[in-house]
Amino acid sequence: MNGRDEYILVIPAYNESATIREVVQGALRHFDTVIVVDDGSSDDTLEKLLDLPVTLRQHPENLGKAASLWNGMQVALKLGAKGIVTMDGDGQHDPADLPQLLMAAQIHPDRLVIGSRLWNRDAIPKARYRANRFANFWIAWASGQAIEDSQSGFRVYPAQLIRLCQFKLSRDRSFVFESEIIIEAARHQFLCAFQPVQTTYPKNARPSHFRPVKDIVRITRMVFWRLFIRGFFLPGLWRSLSGNQSLKPQKTLDVC
């Protein structure tokens, strides 16, 4: 595998009929291999993709976003991926930003690259913005690094990181996974780098599955437990407040 073949894109999808085809068509401009995991959709999400050159996996019932991501990642590893890119199927992530994420991953292959949206505060619903900032503080502390956007699912994971990790993937922890893997990545010496990306909320997209209050409570519980078993990891709190992982514009892409 070389060039664009080294990276495989995974898209979890649950009732994304209104947006999934356009998202996948945009992604295919940048990837030879796109994996879509249909998480037991009750609409025609899967049918929207049957004539496109994608790898499809289908859950017989809704298992949650975490299981969809993880199962798609395992398929990507079996196909020989060097890195695994993830994006949502609801149209929030712009496929035009994929080249910048890939460039960042190629320059920093030992980092978990995350597409950061919070620079564009006006484009994000207020409740989600506040919930994200709250989660950022705790996840930064537990992972011992500055965190700009802990809830963005627009990412590039080094394949070796996925091979090292193990998680409990229950449906009620669907939105805990993407926070927990940041902490687990840091434990394995894979820090984060953040690439600014655009974010949109298409009018025809289904309502978000993310529940700002309930899911942030679950994320906070997970983080609290991880801090508790490490004696509250005060060095991590210090490092989280003293660094900046944001990438420079595309031409330099250096991590501070």
CA angle 32, 184, 99 (to 5 degrees): 25
Which CATH number applies to 3-241?
A: 3.90.550.10
Q: Please, which residues bridge with residue 114 across strands? A: 155, 194
Kindly state the tokens that stand for 171: 């449906």
pLDDT at position 127:
72
pLDDT at position 120:
67
- Do residues 223 and 141 make contact, with C-beta atoms less than 8 angstroms apart? yes
d(CA 122, CA 189): 34
Which residues of the chain carry a pLDDT beneath 70? 1-4, 119-123, 125, 203-212, 243-256
pLDDT at position 174:
75
pLDDT at position 122:
67
200 burial type by CB count under 10 A (0-12 exposed, 13-18 middle, 19+ buried):
middle
pLDDT at position 205:
63
Closest CA to 11 of 78, 95, 137: 95
- Do residues 41 and 65 make contact, with C-beta atoms less than 8 angstroms apart? no
